[in-house]
Each structure stands twice: as structure tokens, then as C-alpha cells.
A and B are shown apart, each in its own frame.
Chain A
Amino acid sequence: MVKTREIVFPGDIVQAEGTKPRNGTYRNSDGTYSSCYFGTVQVSEQFLDVVPFSGIYMPRRGDKVIGKIIDVGPSMWVIDINSAYNTLLHINDTPWRVNPGDLKRFLGVGDYVYAKIMSVNEIRESWVTLKDVGLRKMEGGHITSIAAPKIPRIIGKGGSMVNMIKDATSTRIVVGQNGLIWIDGAPENVMVAISAIRMVEEEAHTTGLTDRMQKYLEEKKGEIVGNSE
């Protein structure tokens, strides 16, 4: 029997009353399940997941990610999404009317986009789209990154953690499922937001993090107000 936030290693048997092992586990020949990661156990009402401490992002259909343009082709952009594989953005999947061969006018190498994974195939080739609400080219701001498995912790239950950081630091934050985070605001506020994100990353496997974060942000807020006076 394992409990939530318990540390497990690859090969450790994981099971908890009334739950079905799901992500981060594999089935043994005798019907038991083992962890395939070094990480922590997450027991929910129905399922048991193992969340690794680190690791790369694997594209899944429907995920909204932040990517960096690394190459421009005649009809596609090649985008690095912090994964083992690059992804592609076709001109037909953008909200603009792009003429083939004229892609650089819209997105150049080094630009960041907030895009949605449209499809992923068996050999992990993927395509993204910019045709949805909120998807766009990132203008200005700062990019920071954390380990992709810790993204749910940054977002928090129903976005509570990221909203708290946004409100306390008065910054705009966009969190990509792939571990890249875009932050825009006054430089000193951005620095506070980044330090808060680092703290979440470091302590993602502990309990009571939201309360500690609240305290931390209030302290930092006081410092900034104190400095400007």
C-alpha cells in the first residue's frame, strides 16, 4: 500500500485500496503494478499515478504548449516544444493569410508561440495549431522553464496556484503544458514571479505548499512596496 506523496523508485510495486494504477505505472506478469519512474505517488479517488521528479514533455493531443520557432520552411514552421521531438505548424493552421514562401513576415526564428497540439501519430510526429481562442504569438515578456511533470503543481487545483502568483505579483502569466512559462510585467515583479515558480518546482513533492506560497508572496510583496517608497 502506498500513500500520496510517498517517494517510489523504478520497479517498486504500487497499489492503494480501491484505485486503479494509471500514469507512470506498468503491469507485471503476476498482475501487480510497478512504478516506472523515480517520483511521488498521487492517489486520487479512482486512480493511482506516479509523478516523476523530472523528465521531458511528451506531446498529447489537446495540450496547450509554448514553443520556440527554430526553423522556417516553405509552408511550415518547425517548433521546439521542450520535448524529445520537434513539432510542426502549417500555414493553414494559423489565423493569418500566409502566402507560401512568405512565412518569415509572421513568425521568425526565435519567436515564441502559444499553440495547441492538434495531432500526434504513432511515431510521435506532431502538429500544432494557432486556430483557437487565446492561441497567439508571444509578444514581449520573459520565458522560464521547469520540469514538465511539475506543471500541474504550478497551476494548482483549478488554477489556484498560478492565479495567486499572478495576483500577488501583478504579472501576466501563461503556462504551457510542456514546462515553458511566459511571464510579462514590470521587471522586479517578473523576478518575484520567477522565484515563486522556482520554489514550487523545488518543493513540488511536499504538502501544504499553497499556504507556504501565500506567506512567501506576501513577504515579497512587502519588500517591493518598501523599495519603491
Chain B
Amino acid sequence: MGTASDIKLINEDGLRLDGRSADELRPMKIETDVLARADGSAYIEWGGNKILVAVYGPREAFPKHTQDIDKAVVKARYNMAAFSVDERKRPGPDRRSMEISKVISEALSSAVMVNQFPRAEIDVYIEVLQADAGTRIAGLTASSVALAAAGIPMKDMVVGCTAGKVEGQVVLDLSKEEDNFGQADLPMAVLPKSGNVVLLQMDGDLSVEEFEKASSMILEATKKIHKIQRDALAGKYKAIALERSGE
């Protein structure tokens, strides 16, 4: 955060490096059922992020001491491929990925109806193939699609987005450069129906006003992202239904 640089992140017209305005999202694409072996899966491309998610379960939790007698545990594992970033990332879990796994697990647990599956676990494997800022939120957004595709009961989908401060201005959905050289980064995930916040982190500093602005921008953006999630899920089934009814 706040590394000194000569790069002008926002130009005179108020446009950002990639030509977006302050409240514009990067292009996003979600696909479901991309893996045959998994119970549910999703693939997301969000800006330069490319992330694959596989969901397994619910199945009996193993090792046995991780079981909870009255609810299922959601075990998300966020993992970055060695080739996902500019400089080779040393493979394996590290402090950052363990933290992200934890916050994603907790965010998903508040949507999944864990009480229906005592002693069980739900595995969510998040593999980041290419990283370009906002991977935790992209991974979480794709995870909730994969969970829905796996037929796991949920109260609501989980939708996330980031906002941040760049050159003193609050902007939505930070890109790599803005994340590295900006002043603040605010990833946030909500349950769109109730508006409950299930993930909120902040790197850098925001004033109360800036925070309010950033969070309202995110809430507005989650509506669009939620629509993309739903379209991704329904696509295949709607196509079959339409094809058959037309016969």
C-alpha cells in the first residue's frame, strides 16, 4: 500500500489506467460444471484473475477431531499456483493463503445451511491460476456459484467486490497497479438478499466518509455480480429447457 511511484493511476479525465471510470467493474465471466469429478465446480475470469473452484461434499469430516456434532464445517482452501504471479510464488500454504482460507471459510459458513449436516465437512478448493488483484473476493464469488451447482443448501449466494483509494479518490474493483500503488484496499462480501456483510477486510487507511462511499459502491456492484452468478448457473439448464420446449 502506498508505495511511491511515478505512475499516474488516474488521468485528467478521471479515467483509470485501463480506461475504466471510478465505479466501473472489470469484465467478468463465470462458468459452472467445468470439472467432471467434483460435486460442483466453477471457473471465474475477473479482469486478469483466473480462478478454478471445486466443491466436494458434504461428506463425513476427516480427521475425526475436526467434526462438529451439530453442524457441518466448511473447509475452504485458497491456493495460488506457482505461476500465478509475476515472480514465482513458492508453492504451498503460507501465512497469507491460510488467512484467506480462513476468512473465505467463515464467509461461506454463514450462507451454507450447516445445521443440516452434522459431523460433515464441505470442501472448497480454490486454485488461483492467474492473479490480478482481488483474488480472495473472486475466489469467494466463484465458490458460492460452485456450492450452488453442487446442490448444497444455502440461505443466499455470497457476492463480493473490492473498492479502494487511489490518488485520494475512492474507486471500485482495484486492478493490480491500483492495489500495489494505491492508498487503501477494501474487500467486502455480502449476502445480497439480506445485505448482511460476511467478509470485510481493510488494507491501508480510509476516513469514515471514504469508507461509507466505498461500501455503498460495493453494494451497488454486488447487484451486477449477483446477476452474472445467476446467469452462469442457469445458462445450461435454460438452454435445454428452451430447446426441448421448441420441439
Where the two chains meet, the residues of A that have a C-beta atom closer than 8 Å to any C-beta of B are 5, 7, 9-11, 24, 26, 34, 36-39, 52-56, 58, 84-86, 122-124, 147, 149, 202-203, 205-209, 212
Contact = CB atoms under 8 A, between A and B. Distances in A.
Given A54-B39, A84-B60, A123 B240 contact: no
Contacts of B245: 206-208
Contacts of B150: 54-55
Nearest to B242: A206
10 contacts: A9-B233, A36-B154, A36-B155, A37-B154, A38-B149, A123-B70, A124-B117, A124-B118, A206-B241, A207-B244
A7 B239 CA distance: 12
Nearest to B150: A54
Given A84-B59, A85-B120, A86-B60, A37 B233 contact: no
Given A10-B153, A36-B155, A208 B60 contact: no
A212 B244 contact: yes
A205 B113 CA distance: 24
B238 interface: yes
A55 B148 contact: no
Contacts of A207: 244-245
A206 B150 CA distance: 20
A31 to B, nearest CB: 15
A11 B191 contact: yes
A84 B117 contact: yes
A9 B155 CA distance: 10
B244 A208 contact: yes
Interface of B: 39-40, 57-60, 69-70, 111, 113, 116-120, 148-157, 191-193, 230, 233-234, 237-238, 240-241, 244-245, 247
A54 B149 contact: yes
A10 B240 contact: no
Contacts of A24: 153
B193 A34 contact: yes
Contact of A11 (B39, B59, B119, B156): B156
A54 B156 contact: no
Contacts of B238: 7
A26 B151 contact: no
Contacts of B152: 55
Given A84-B120, A122-B118, A11 B151 contact: no
B30 to A, nearest CB: 13
Nearest to A24: B153
Contacts of A212: 244, 247
A10 B120 contact: no
A203 B243 CA distance: 10
A47 B58 CA distance: 27
A113 B156 CA distance: 38
B159 to A, nearest CB: 10
A85 B192 contact: no
Given A9-B230, A54-B39, A84-B120, A38 B191 contact: no
Nearest to A208: B244
Nearest to B70: A123
A199 B70 CA distance: 38
B192 A11 contact: yes
Contacts of A39: 151
Contacts of B241: 5, 7, 205-206
B217 to A, nearest CB: 22
Contact of A203 (B157, B233, B240): B240
A86 B60 CA distance: 8
A58 B148 CA distance: 17
A26 B238 CA distance: 25
B227 to A, nearest CB: 11
A123 B237 contact: no
A52 B238 CA distance: 14
B60 A7 contact: no
B151 A206 contact: no
Contact of A147 (B111, B151, B240): B151
A37 B185 CA distance: 33
A160 B127 CA distance: 45
A45 to B, nearest CB: 24
Nearest to A206: B244
A219 B132 CA distance: 52
